[in-house]
Amino acid sequence: MTATRREPAESLTESLISARMWDLLREEFPDRSPAALGVQVEECLRFLSIASEVGGCFIPLSKEIDEIWHALVVQTRSYAQLCERLPGKAFVHHESLKLSAYAETVGRSAAVREFVAWIPRYVGRFGDFTEERAQYWRVCTFLRVELGLSLREINEMGRRMAAGNDNQEEEHRVSV
């Protein structure tokens, strides 16, 4: 089966990040290649895009993406304007919280459901995770390292869940 990949005609970075903000990000992260920074900014914006629509859902991001998000947040006016242009038109608050602490607050089952729910949201909107992009999503790392799933299996699960099939079966598989 060929992997689906639906790249928007215009990337989120092109449509949401101003030249001034891009310059600030390059200054903030001079050790990152332009290509790596571009992928990281795009993944951060993909996260924000989904988060703006679903509200208070929790998803731990990689350190690199969290650093991009933090760099955006501290530019408060620009960040607020960016949030207004996201699909949900909602301000996405930044809070540092580990998955274990979040799970203690909402319960393990709820945390697992929220954690896994990001897969179909991402795959349904942006296409399959690639090796390059999956590394920035802790849910992908967890499923690969802890449960031994391949990226192909994660993408297939995302497509099934996005289509409304096997949600409970997938949640149980990941909570084990």
Q: What is the pLDDT of residues 56-72, one digit of tens each?
A: 677 778 999 999 999 99
Residue 158's domain spans which residues?
Answer: 97-176
Domain final position from 62, 96, 130: 96
Encode pLDDT of 116-170 as tens digits. 888 999 999 999 999 999 999 988 998 999 889 999 999 999 999 999 864 444 4
The tally of domains found in the chain comes to 2
Going through the chain in order, the beta strands assigned E by DSSP cover none
- Cβ–Cβ under 8 Å, residues 121 and 54: yes
Amino acid at 88: G
Region 33-40: what's the mean pLDDT?
96
Q: Is 137 helix (H, G, I), strand (E, B) or coil?
A: strand
Q: Does 125 share its domain with 147?
A: yes
Is residue 2 domain-resident?
no
In this structure, are 50 and 114 located in the same domain? no
pLDDT of residue 54: 84
Q: Read off the tokens for 1.
A: 């089966």
Residue 28 and residue 63 in one domain: yes
Domain ends where: 35, 68, 96?
96
Kindly compute the dihedral angle of the four CA atoms of residues 116, 88, 37, 5, in this order, to the nearest 10 degrees.
60
- Per-residue pLDDT band for 5 (boundaries 50, 70, 90) equals very low
